[in-house]
Amino acid sequence: MTIQTPHPGPSASIPVQVAFDRRELSVILSVYGRMVAAGEWRDYGISCLRDMAVFSVFRRTAENPLYRIEKRPKLRNRQGMYSVVGIDGQILKRGSDLKTVLRVLERKLIRAVE
């Protein structure tokens, strides 16, 4: 007796959820660690959704996030899948290279240290 499996349709390639991989998290946590050491950030949260992954940064746990680092794979061939979004929802930087996108936060670190 053979069991037939349904033919995978176009939705078979869509992941159940989007997440940051180890390399991406290493880059993000490197910036996060420096900002914590500077006293600017104190907490973070990670959300893995169906169409995007979000790393949210907080000054205090009970507040709204200061910044959101978003990964949207559907935008890979357009503006780039990584973006940094400010507290007001404005996109501060978008691109296909995570390190380049996170430089907008590095500038804020330099100002905080001065």
Spans of all domains in the chain: 16-113
- Render 64-75 in DSSP notation, one character per residue: PPSEEEEE-GGG
Which residues, 6+ apart, have CB-to-CB distance to 102 below 8 Å?
A: 27, 28, 31, 69, 84, 93
Residue 11 above 60 pLDDT?
no
67-93: pLDDT as tens digits: 999 999 888 888 889 999 998 889 999
15-41: pLDDT as tens digits: 588 888 899 999 999 999 999 898 888
Q: Which of 51, 45, 38 is nearest to 66 (CA)?
A: 45
Identity of the residue numbered 56: S
90-106: pLDDT as tens digits: 999 999 999 999 999 87
pLDDT value, residue 40:
87
pLDDT value, residue 13:
57
The average pLDDT across 43-63 equals 88
81 burial via Cβ count (<10 Å: 0-12, 13-18, 19+): buried
pLDDT value, residue 1:
45
